[in-house]
Amino acid sequence: MAHASEGRGQEFRLPDLGEGLTEAEIVRWLVEVGDVVAVDQPVVEVETAKAMVEVPCPYGGVVTARFGEEGTELPVGAPLVTVAVGTGEDGAAPAAGTEAAASAGGESGVAESRGAASTGGESRIAESAAVRAEAAGSGNVLVGYGTSEAPARRRRVRPDRRAATGAAARTNGRVRVAGPVDGPAEGSAGGPAEGSVDGPVPVISPLVRRLARQNDLDLRELTGSGPDGLILRADVEYALRASAAQGGRAADHEARTGRAPVTAPTAPASATTPGAPRSGTVRTPLKGVRGAVADKLSRSRREIPDATCWVDADATGLMRARTAMNASGGPKISLIALLARICTAALARFPELNATVDTEAREIVRFDDVHLGFAAQTDRGLVVPVVRDAHARDAEALTAEFARLTEAAHEGRLTPGELTGGTFTLNNYGVFGVDGSTPIINHPEAAMLGVGRIVAKPWVHEGELAVRQVVQLSLTFDHRVCDGGTAGGFLRYVADCVEQPAVLLRTL
């Protein structure tokens, strides 16, 4: 086994996971401090705004430190793990990093977004550039790191001793250090920690610290809503909104009356602290999928001048056609696949709706290919997987692709590439038992077709009152890309195909 001095400390940071993602939440750690990891072995499972992914580490060696607990949100570039890299028997990395981390934990008591350090300054794990393995690539591409050999089974080096951060107790969301502290805590809101006085505020994300610093907000006044009192970005944003609202009301009162408002007696600090939980309320941070949905829908409402038109259609013919298809043998055809086929045929006749608006260039960008998104409700929230080249697929191929993407959505296995790049969205909200809706356009697309439930209703058919299968169709469109005539023509063609599926034969 190699000696401790032979190892080198490599700090692995959260890589750019693609598609413009800037942060991710730690869902589950796949390694412990002291584990031996191979190059490209997954070390943590994170949830981005688009999907849950396992992140492979480009270094092989001993894990000496982990940064962030499960549920913590980290920005791209923040440290994830520190690995002691070196050569030894059986390809195992030296255990020096583990001992150094444990020693550092006993001295400082707090390890916050830093690599492991040795005690007394006798030995220090130096930071160095990324080490690329010489073996064949595994294909796990990480922006800024590269790839290497396939992962191997890990084993625990020192099961009886893990890297520690020192004994600490938390009171009211604050960290109280149990042991002596040699110097000031890095990144703390206050001055240096001395003896057993309050240490750094419980903040991991550099973005949270920067947001508070830019707005002159003292993080020590906040009580975190995260695990063990961890202060999250939502806590800081709530405190800023509360402060702004209080200041706005005071200014408005003074402008109307010419007098400063009379303030009520000050309540105890614990009851008025911004961000503190109130009795009878539940605060849920807008992050992950929920946060991404909120941002996209808000942007759609701000930027897109949308309009909606709708029509009722007799879907009896479509339902009978599907029954006939499924009775002829072969894979079963899903209803959403038939609706998707109708959408692509309608977009071929009205291509203005398969477009987006480039606001900077002030241009309408029209697409030749149809990448059809469809709304899917999952336990993690609403997601919109994208069926690539939907215009080139028949009903069987569409059925198979819808089934694959839906299963991946419910299991949280969708990749960022499967959740982006759509040009038009189909929203089958009828599965929730509702007739109609005015859907919000999936920014930056230009239109969305909504389909309500298909239900038996009285309908005049061939001059006679009959019970038919009726559905409500709605189209929400960006009024910048077309006028009402185009949108109405598209929706009418869709309704005609629903009522008389044989209309599709003209374009097959």
- 420-458 in b/e form (b: 16+ CB < 10 A) is bebbbbbbbbbeeeebbbebbbbbbbbbbbbbbbbeeee
479 has catalytic annotation: yes
- 4-41 in b/e form (b: 16+ CB < 10 A) is beebbbbbbbbbebbeebebbbbbebbbebbbbbbbbb
31: closest CA among 59, 9, 73?
59
User: Taking the CB of residue 116, how many other CB atoms lie within 10 A of it?
Assistant: 27
Tell me if 236 sits within 8 A of 222, measured CB to CB.
Answer: yes
Tell me if 112 sits within 8 A of 93, measured CB to CB.
Answer: no
Catalytic residue from among 3, 371, 391, 479: 479
Tell me if 459 sits within 8 A of 483, measured CB to CB.
Answer: no
Q: Which two tokens stand for residue 204?
A: 């991991």
130: closest CA among 60, 71, 70, 193?
60
CA 442, CA 448: separation in Å to the nearest integer?
7
SS (H, E, C) 356-375: EEECCCCEEEECCCCCEEEC
126: Cα separation from own chain's centroid: 34
30: closest CA among 59, 7, 53?
53
Q: Which two tokens stand for residue 93?
A: 């990395």
DSSP of 100-114: HHHHHHHHHS---S-
Q: Catalytic residue positions?
A: 479
